[in-house]
Amino acid sequence: MSGEQTTQNQRPEICLHGIGASPGIVRGKAFVFLARKSDLPCFKIRPERIETEVRRFHAAVAQTRRQIQALGDEMRSRVGALEASIFDAHLLVLDDPAVINKTDEAIRNSRLNAEHCFNSVAGKYIDFFSSLDDSFLKERVTDIRDVTERILRNLTGKTLDQASEYLQDHIVVSENLTPSETIGFEKCQVRAILTDTGNHTSHAAIFARTLGIPAVVGLRNATLKIAQEDDLLIDGSQGIVYINPSEKTIEVYEKIASRQSEIDMRIAADAGKDDVTLDGHRFYLEANISGKENLESLDKAKITAVGLFRSEGIFMRTNSFPDEEAQFKEYSAVTEAIPSNSNCVIRTLDIGGDKHISSSLMPPETNPFMGFRAIRFCLEFKDIFKEQLRAILRTSTRKNVRIMFPMISSLRELLAAKEVLEEAKSDLRSRDVPFDENISVGAMIELPAAVAISDDLAKHVDFFSIGTNDLTQYMLAVDRGNSKISYLYDSFHPAVLRAIAKTINSAHEAKIWCAVCGEMAGTAVFAPFLIGCGADALSMSVLNASLIRYNLRHSKLTDMQALAHEVLQEGDPRRIQERLEHFCKNIMNA
Ligand code: PEP
Ligand code: MG
């Protein structure tokens, strides 16, 4: 297919190539989001305009108040009063006359613009609260920061949040997106997401897949090439974007869509059968979720178990550390929806890396993926960790809950996490709160160090789950969110595949269960290899589940084992890729 074509009455077609991050073919109008809160403007105000500038500031404060009240009302009706209380705290910040009056004063005295004056007044408060020893007051910094950013956005008038009413049915084009912005798109009925930066396993991409929103990331300069309201055609699997698609391109994609629906029909015809291979081996497909909002997609994919509940979704949605009670409600909404004979693996808090919460407990870092993340954060802030563990334990009375620790790098760390779990259990015992005394405990194997000592780790847990997203990033030293080096982020690399095989072997030697929950588990081409290596379950963003299920049901375990054996001897990633693709093609052509 050519890059540029012209048809009658149409602007030339332009084709952009990026990384297919979430599958789906969609057509729609572009909403280009250019400006982000970065360099705030600073300029002098003419004396006769000073009172207008003060009024402009007050209008932004009033607008912020209305937005926060509306958000609080929505949260109260959709989620509950407890979660909504965060917005009451935000309103208190707005009611503090000191910040408002000092900003008025600063505008009048310095004759500088409102954004600049407000930012420096609020900055002083943030510094003051951050310097306090009291962790409650320290936490207020999060609220002040949040409100400050909202007022600044209203003053500068260029935010995605503010634009949400325009996003419906549009294809959002942005330089980058945070995971929490992406989670917010569920409500806005965004058709697709395009970003200049990012990678297949950056968390914004993962959340797009979890929400079923097609996405292409790492497009480099989409925000420059695509204009507001441009007609776009997106192929989220191949990572292709057509600006002003020609009639020929549209025709080609209509054919692809009809081929896809043929495949969908074949898959649907298979629906009621058991999840066993042609030679009778039972396999398990499970779901990756980030909250109760994703449960509907499980029904659609006919999956009953959750192999990875990314609990940080709850923290990121509220941009705070919800207390035990609030977390208990969130977790039980999920665990109660899962049949009692299916697993629900709740992974403890994995913030840090590209998943940030604006809190003084998480100061900016120069190298966040290698930094203060996941279990490292939890072992430092044991109160937060224990609060979460108690909330999880309380949901375990139906005995379908399992606890999993992320980013384990040593036996000492695993044992320390288990010790905190024991403390959480005795807290509950002393409160006479029931929980599953024999709750299963697992470790994510996602660091090369954990692979190397997987035989030791396996003796201390009930299960492993291999996090191939981080495993690939850390094995190959390639930041999973950096599109500049995405060509190096290669899960076909033999080092990654052999690390997976070694981990599964260690687990099975210790007679424990080993699942795979990184994105490789939900990528059709890898599934036969993983099952061939002996993976007990594949946990995935459910979009590809039906295709993977079809492929596994129509293969023999012995063939997949032979495939795994062959591929593990191969040293060239491209030959490995060819071999795995060939295996999948043959299933469909059979
Ligand atoms: C992984 O690293 O593969 C994983 C499943 O965890 P996350 O993507 O949330 O880091
Ligand atoms: Mg991970």
> Are 425 and 289 contained in the same domain?
yes
Whether residue 90 lies inside any domain: the answer is: no
Distance 363 CA to ligand 1 centre (A): 22
Catalytic residue, chosen from 188, 344, 517, 584, is 517
Report the run of H or E that residue 232 belongs to, with start and end: strand 231-235
pLDDT for 153 equals 78
> Are 537 and 475 members of one domain?
yes
Ligand 1 pocket mutation pick from 201, 210, 404 by most atoms within 8 angstroms of CB: 201
Residues 86/320, Cβ–Cβ less than 8 Å: yes
Say whether both 409 and 503 belong to one domain: yes
- Measured in angstroms, how far is the CA atom of residue 295 from the centroid of ligand 1? 19
Handedness of CA 343, 526, 290, 272 (dihedral sign): negative
- Domain end (from 195, 227, 258): 258
Cα Rg of the chain (Å, integer): 25
Measured between alpha carbons, how far is 214 from 194 in angstroms, rounded to an integer?
A: 9
- Say whether pLDDT at 83 is over 70: no
375 alpha carbon to ligand 2 midpoint, in Å? 11
Q: Does residue 369 carry a pLDDT above 70? A: yes
Nearest residue by C-alpha to atom 8 in ligand 1: 469
DSSP 8-state class, residue 377: H
Q: At 135, is the pLDDT very low, low, confident or very high (cuts 50, 70, 90)?
A: low
DSSP state of 281: -
Residue nearest to atom 9 of ligand 1 (CA): 310
pLDDT digit string, tens, across residues 177-235: 776 677 667 667 789 999 998 888 887 788 888 888 999 999 988 988 888 789 999 99
Statement to judge: residues 483 and 537 lie in one domain: yes
Q: Is the pLDDT of residue 2 over 50?
A: no
Which residues form the domain of 28? 14-32+165-258
Q: Looking at the structure, do residues 413 and 537 belong to the same domain, yes or no?
A: yes
Rounded to an integer, what distance in angstroms lies between the CA atom of residue 360 and that of residue 475? 31
Number of structural domains, the chain? Answer: 2
Q: Is the per-residue pLDDT at 527 higher than 90?
A: yes
Convert the pLDDT of each residue in 140-188 to its tens digit. Answer: 777 787 788 888 878 875 445 545 656 778 899 988 777 667 766 766 7
Helix (H, G, I), strand (E, B) or coil at 70: helix
Same domain for 200 and 346, yes or no, is no
**Residue 451 burial (CB count, 10 A):** 23
> Measured from the CB, is residue 373 less than 6 Å from ligand 1?
no
For ligand 1, atom 6: residue with the closest CA: 467
What is the model's pTM? Answer: 0.74
**% pLDDT > 90, the chain:** 56
% of the chain residues with pLDDT over 70: 91
**b/e for 266-285, b at 16 or more Cβ within 10 A?**
ebeeeeeeeeebeeebebbb
Q: Give yes or no: residues 344 and 479 share one domain.
A: yes
Question: Residue 207 CA: which ligand is closest?
Answer: 1
Q: Is 179 a member of any domain?
A: yes
Structure confidence at residue 186 (pLDDT): 67
Give every CB contact of residue 521 below 8 A, 6+ residues apart in sequence.
Answer: 468, 515, 527, 530, 535, 538, 539, 540
Write down the residue that tokens 């990314």 correspond to: 310
Q: Would you call 116 a catalytic residue per the annotation?
A: no
**272 located within any domain:** no
Q: What residue owns the CA closest to ligand 1's atom 4?
A: 467
Using the mean position of ligand 2's atoms as its centre, give its distance from the Cα of residue 310 in Å.
10
For residue 582, how many other CB atoms are within 10 A of its CB? Answer: 11
302 and 237 within one domain: no
Whole-number Å distance, alpha carbon 491 to ligand 2 midpoint, is 14
Domain boundary residue among 258, 291, 314? Answer: 258
Catalytic residue among 116, 170, 200, 203: 203
Same domain, 238 and 333: no
Q: Report in angstroms the alpha-carbon separations of 416 from 375, 405, 411, 421, 448.
A: 10, 11, 8, 9, 20
User: 212 and 344: one domain?
Assistant: no
User: Hey, which bits of 266-425 come out as E strands?
Assistant: 284-289, 306-310, 344-347, 401-405
**Distance between CA atoms of residues 207 and 469, nearest Å:** 13
**Domain containing 568 — which CATH number?**
3.20.20.60
**251 within some domain:** yes
132 in a domain, yes or no? no
Render pLDDT for 58-75 as a digit per residue (tens, 0 to 9): 999 998 898 888 877 876
User: Which ligand sits closest to the CA of 496?
Assistant: 1
**How far apart (Å, rounded) are the C-alpha atoms in residues 497 and 534?**
13
**Residue 123: both structure tokens together:** 């900055």
Token pair 């004396």 is at which residue? 47
Chosen domain end from 211, 226, 258: 258
**Residue 19: Cβ within 10 Å count:** 22
pLDDT in tens, 90-110: 788 888 888 899 999 999 999
Ligand 1 neighbour 200 (Cβ under 6 A): no
By CB neighbour count within 10 A (0-12 exposed, 13-18 middle, 19+ buried), where does 521 fall? Answer: buried
Residue 86 confidence (pLDDT): 72
In a domain, 84, yes or no: no
Query: Region 488-498: what's the mean pLDDT?
Result: 96
Same domain, 398 and 437: yes
Residues in CB range of 240: below 8 A, 6 or more apart: 15, 16, 17, 18, 20, 216, 234
Tokens representing 296 are 């509907």
Residue 174: give its domain's CATH number.
3.50.30.10
Handedness of CA 341, 283, 292, 405 (dihedral sign): positive
Copy the structure tokens of residue 131.
């310097």
Res 89: pLDDT: 77
Residue-level pLDDT at 4: 39
Establish whether 517 is a catalytic residue.
Answer: yes
Instruction: State the average pLDDT for the chain.
Output: 88
Is the domain of 219 the same as that of 316? Answer: no
Q: Could you tell me if the CB of 468 is within 6 A of ligand 1?
A: yes
Classify residue 307: in a domain, yes or no: yes
Residue 173 forms part of a structural domain: yes
